[in-house]
Structure formats: C-alpha cells, structure tokens
Structure 1
C-alpha cells in the first residue's frame, strides 16, 4: 500500500479534470459563462490534486 500514497489524489484529480472539461464544453455550447467558469475551477482543482498525488509519490 505504501507504493500507492498519491494514487487517491491522482484519481480524484483526474475525475475533477474530466468533470470540469465536460462543464466547460457544455457551458461553451450553451453560451453559459457561469457553467464554463465552474468547469474551469474543476479543471484547476483537478490539476492541483494530481500534483499533490505526484508529490506524495516522490516522497
């Protein structure tokens, strides 16, 4: 289990990035800037979570 320290954060990050991309694209298609902004926030959160997971793996 010790070799999977950051895996949870990386998975959560990937999920948030996918969810964010979907919201961003739907917001773009519907011309809904609020939905696009939500999507961009989720993508940014996902990127941070993935980086945290990578940092945990490097320890």
Structure 2
C-alpha cells in the first residue's frame, strides 16, 4: 500500500506537468491551471508520504 501511494503521487505529478505544458503550448489557461493543480496535489501527497516515512524510523 505504501508504494502504491508513492506511485500515485508520482503519476499525479507527471500528469499535471504534461497537462500544464500542453495548456501553455496551445494557450489554454484553464488547462494550464488544472495541470498546476494536479501537480500540486501530487506534491502534497508525496510530502504526506515522506512525513509518514520519517515517523516510522
């Protein structure tokens, strides 16, 4: 389960980055904003997992 959460965070970050770049490329501000939001969501999830790992050791 732990690895699954970390993987989901990485996937979410990557999808957000792709969406953000695609939005910038075509000039779609809404897509860019959605990409930034997804990327941030992945960052938060990853940070949460790092905190959990820190308290386990």
User: Taking structure 1 as the reference length, what is the TM-score of the superposition?
Assistant: 0.83
Q: Is the 8 A contact 1:10 1:54 kept in 2?
A: no
User: What is the alpha-carbon root mean square deviation over aligned residues?
Assistant: 1.3
- Determine which of 15, 22, 25 is the counterpart of 1:19: 15
Measure the CA separation in 2 of the matches of 1:7 and 1:55.
14
Where in structure 1 do 4 or more consecutive aligned residues deviate above 6 Å?
none
How many residues are aligned here?
A: 55
Measure the CA separation in 2 of the matches of 1:23 and 1:32.
10
1:37 aligns with 2:45: no
Q: CA deviation at 1:6?
A: 4.1
> Please, which runs of 5 or more residues in structure 2 have no aligned partner?
none
Q: CA deviation at 1:28?
A: 0.5
> Please, which runs of 5 or more residues in structure 1 have no aligned partner?
none
Q: Which has the higher contact order (CA 8 A, sep 6+)?
A: 1
Q: CA deviation at 1:38?
A: 0.4
